[in-house]
Chain A
Amino acid sequence: MATTSTTPSLSSATSPPPSMRSISTSSTGSTTKPAGISYHRHFALPPPLPSVRHTHPDPFPALTVKQLAVLDPTGARTRLFDRTQPDAAKVGDVLLVTTRKGEPFAGVCLSIRHRGVDTAVLLRGQLMRVGVEMWHKIYSPNVVAIDIVWRRPKRARRARLTYMRHPKHDMGSVTHLVSAWKKERHSMRNKGRGFKGKTVGARF
């Protein structure tokens, strides 16, 4: 009360007490103005709260890392869909998803939906002449394996290949690609074993 009487007041005769002085927002401190006094505010302002952005940062990146440590400990699944990796699975490739329960499902990848732990891939295949599309969460514990059966020779010019639902662009059944892949994989694994034992009569 006493200190404000010396300063020139622009408006009311009663000046605010020191405890209710507003905090000056101007960076330059003028010599005539005592520190912390603003002449443009004559009402009480509470002190600003600490920024929540600094005290409580976004929890989701940390949660994702924690969940992926459990769901994908080796990081192989993440690498398979990592856009920066040159040998990643891309839209247009044929993927084979093996689940814990049920038959393995193979199909063209129409879309990859990147959402952290909920990253999913849309495959379009054919089951008994009926087109079937399936979304699979890549980090799901039910998804045992995802294999690239066939790579598209040229990069697709779209990120979502929904045009492949039309008969003109529909790839149809991919079982021939899966058979070829299985055959090649088998021969690679059993190189030099010749026609012994299990390779005889092996069915693809």
Chain B
Amino acid sequence: MIQLKSIINCIDNSGAALVECAMVVGRKGAARIGDRIVVVVQKDRGNADSVGVSQANKVRRGDMRHAVIVRTKYKTQRRDGSVIRFDDNACVLINKAGDPVGTRINGVVAEELRRKKWSKILSMAPMHA
């Protein structure tokens, strides 16, 4: 249940670490797994490698991007009656066309993305549950 002002993790290598939801696209209520949202980057990934990482960052603090939610703390029910719930909220940045901004995803993503036709993100993910 991600809505305006929700701060969620960004789990790809686009450079963003924490993003804040500004709008839910195509829906009046809160966003669930597989929904598209408009986000503002609040924090980018650490400058541990100083120059190299900051140049590799595709986004910076304050950038506005679209994102797809891949994990929620709110329970998602499946058709067979099973329910899944993650320990955090996470998203992956995408451009307006729907292509991911980053090239890699680290972490698990939900299987619900398959039904919502986010196959590119699902294929990039190392594990899906």
Interface of A with B (CB < 8 Å)?
99, 102-103, 105, 118, 120, 127-137, 140, 142, 165
Contacts and interface: CB of A to CB of B under 8 A. Distances in A.
Contact of A142 (B80, B106, B111, B127): B80
Contact of B81 (A102, A128, A140): A140
A116 to B, nearest CB: 13
Given A102-B111, A103-B129, A130 B81 contact: no
Q: Is the interface of B mostly helix, strand, loop or mixed?
A: loop
Nearest to A136: B82
Given A103-B129, A105-B129, A127-B129, A132 B81 contact: no
A137 B82 contact: yes
A133 B126 contact: no
A11 B33 CA distance: 76
Given A102-B111, A137-B80, A137-B81, A130 B86 contact: yes
A102 B86 CA distance: 17
* 10 shortest interchain CB distances as A-B pairs: A131-B87, A135-B83, A137-B81, A127-B108, A142-B80, A133-B85, A128-B108, A136-B82, A134-B84, A140-B80
B46 interface: no
Contacts of A127: 108, 127, 129
A64 to B, nearest CB: 16
With most chain A CB atoms within 10 A of its CB, the pick from B82, B85, B106, B129 is B82
Contacts of B83: 134-135
Contacts of B106: 128
A103 B126 CA distance: 13
A132 B85 contact: yes
B106 to A, nearest CB: 8
B127 A128 contact: yes
A130 B84 CA distance: 13
